Amino acid sequence: MIETTRVRTVLSMHSKPVLKRHVRLQYDKVRTAWALLSPERVFWPNEVSLDILRLCDGRHSVAQMIVLLGDQYGADEAEIAPDVTGFLQEWSDKFLVTL
Amino acid sequence: MTEPVLPPIGMLAELTHRCPLQCAYCSNPVELLKANREMDTQGWISLFEQAADLGVLQVHLSGGEPTLRTDLAELIASLARRGVYTNLITAGVGIAEGRIEAFAEAGLDHVQLSFQGAFAATTEKIGNSRGAHEKKLDTARRIRKAGLPLTINAPIHRHNMEEVPDFIELALSLDAERLEIANVQYAGWALLNRKALMPEREAVERQVEIVEEAQERLRGIMTIDFVTPDYFAVYPKPCMGGWARDAFMVAPDGTVLPCHAAGTIKSLSFERFGEWDLSRIWHESSAFNAFRGTDWMQEPCRSCERQEIDWGGCRCQAMAIAGDAAATDPACIKSPLHARMGALIKEAINTMASDEASDAFTYRRIGRVAEPIA
């Protein structure tokens, strides 16, 4: 069994997600689309993912992100919360976002 | 072509064939180029500019050992200026004090550091380089200290496959965010050394289980990517994501190739950057168009529902094993030659059992197998 002091980060409403140092969100003029660059892979986030990623600036808490996204999409916060938290936890597990 | 040619996303730049290690599994061609054949700084910068214009988003700086290029920081800076993601792939042996910090300063995004073994004796034997392991450990610490994210690369084969659990522990202890455990691809020097490198089926199956367990247990702690072994596969890999589909590579002398082993397909001819510009090579090179899309495919690929999943697999493996670069990759269970993969595994294992001396590597050296063309 491997011993490690490193643990998986689990998201809370107080987490302030930020894109990792080795991940970059940038506009690609050639393909006229937003690209998320990471080691070995390029992701092409859809509109909703992009709006979440743009709020991953280390200043907005998850709770604030849900309020802002709810306003933006005219959606009920309770309804979108599981999608937002699920997305952020998954992206944290993939080492794209620090919670 | 029936489909439009899309712009490339990734580029592998083999800046040099020089390397302090002599790994027998190296994917470089056996005809290695000497330093005097390497493209100069301005040549590479001009190529990188054209790559960015063309739509390349990621450049993997590799070799040989890319840090042997004294102009590496300058090359990184030229890519960073254009917003291109830079990934340095290094053996991490003999990098002078201060240079890793200079790469970070120049805008380097990420480093992949290879370990030939999880223990010093293994690393030294496989790379034929005394003290290499300690130097790599030191390099890993310097990479993290410079604030750079780290992937540990562990190419595995018969001689280090049992060290997979130790590679995982090593990567964790070095604070890597990612570990790439890659079964060796039998091209270049690895093809030459296939008999000595080929693992036994039981060993492969055991390691797959260990990796899958660790991937689950270390979710959110460290990412483990696993490159499966072609010879034990059911379906082939979509090599390079499909021939000339979204990536290409450049040899030290500026020759632009669809993949790193494409030179083994002798019916193809390749252009050098400078003779043609990059956009013309990408769109018009006969080598790039030879296996682009699906029109070139023979049966069983031609009528296969997986043709746009694996794109026929690896053309160089088809060349090496089927003797026809347009054949279905024999790694595929639908290939009439699939049984030959199993026979090659058996042959390697039997040779190994009957003759211990066949365990010896042909170490990678410039001029060792074929003299570079002057």
How far A69 CA lies from chain B's nearest CA (Å)? 25
Contact B221 A6 (CB under 8 A): yes
The answer to whether A74 faces chain B, any CB pair under 8 Å, is no
Q: Do the Cβ atoms of B9 and A42 come within 8 Å? A: yes
Assess whether B69 and B160 both reside in one domain. Answer: yes
Let me know whether B56 and B187 are in one domain.
Answer: yes
- Structure confidence at residue B21 (pLDDT): 93
Whether residue B275 is found in the same domain as residue B194? no
What pTM value is reported for the model?
A: 0.93
Q: What is the ipTM of this complex?
A: 0.89
**pLDDT tens digits along B270-299:** 999 999 999 999 999 999 999 999 999 999
Contact state of B7 with A39 under an 8 Å Cβ cutoff: no
Residue B4 lies in a domain: no
Model confidence band, residue A1 (pLDDT cutoffs 50, 70, 90): very low
B23 is in an annotated binding site: yes
- Confirm whether B234 is domain-assigned: no
Yes or no, beta carbons of A40 and B225 under 8 Å apart: yes
Is B304 marked within a binding site?
no
Domain with B175 in it: 10-228
Task: Looking at the complex, report in whole angstroms how far the Cα of residue B118 sits from the nearest Cα belonging to chain A.
Answer: 14
**In this prediction, what percent of chain B has a pLDDT beyond 70?**
97
Q: Is the Cα dihedral A74, A76, A82, A88 positive or negative?
A: positive
Predicted local confidence at residue B358, as pLDDT? 53
pLDDT tens across A33-80, in order? 999 999 888 999 999 999 999 999 999 999 999 999 999 999 999 999
**Per residue in B19-34, pLDDT tens?**
999 999 998 988 899 9
Per residue, the 3-state secondary structure of chain B, as one string, reads CCCCCCCCCEEEEECCCCCCCCCCCCCCCCCCCCHHHCCCHHHHHHHHHHHHHHCCCEEEEECCCHHHCCCHHHHHHHHHHCCCEEEEEECCCCCCCCHHHHHHHHCCCEEEEECCCCCHHHHHHHHCCCCHHHHHHHHHHHHHHCCCCEEEEEEECCCCHHHHHHHHHHHHHCCCCEEEEEECCCCHHHHHCHHHHCCCHHHHHHHHHHHHHHHHHCCCCCEEEEECCHHHCCCCCCHHHCCCCCEEEECCCCEEECCCCHHHCCCCCCCEECCECHHHHHHHCHHHHHCCCCCCCCCCCCCCCCHHHHCCCCHHHHHHHHCCCCCCCCCCCCCCCHHHHHHHHHHHHHHHHHCHHHHCCCCCCCCCCCCCCC
Kindly state whether residue B357 falls inside one of the protein's structural domains.
no
- For residue B85, being part of any structural domain is answered with yes
Q: Per-residue pLDDT tens for B324-352?
A: 999 998 989 999 999 888 888 888 888 87
Which residue does chain A place closest to B240, by CA atoms? A40
Asked if B85's CB is within 8 angstroms of A37's CB, the reply is yes
Confirm whether B278 is domain-assigned. yes
B247 vs chain A: nearest CA distance in angstroms?
Answer: 12
User: Tens of pLDDT along A4-16?
Assistant: 578 889 999 999 9
Walk me through the domains of chain A, giving residue ranges and CATH numbers.
46-98 (1.10.10.1150)
Nearest-by-CA chain A residue for B112: A39
Residues B216, B67 share a domain: yes
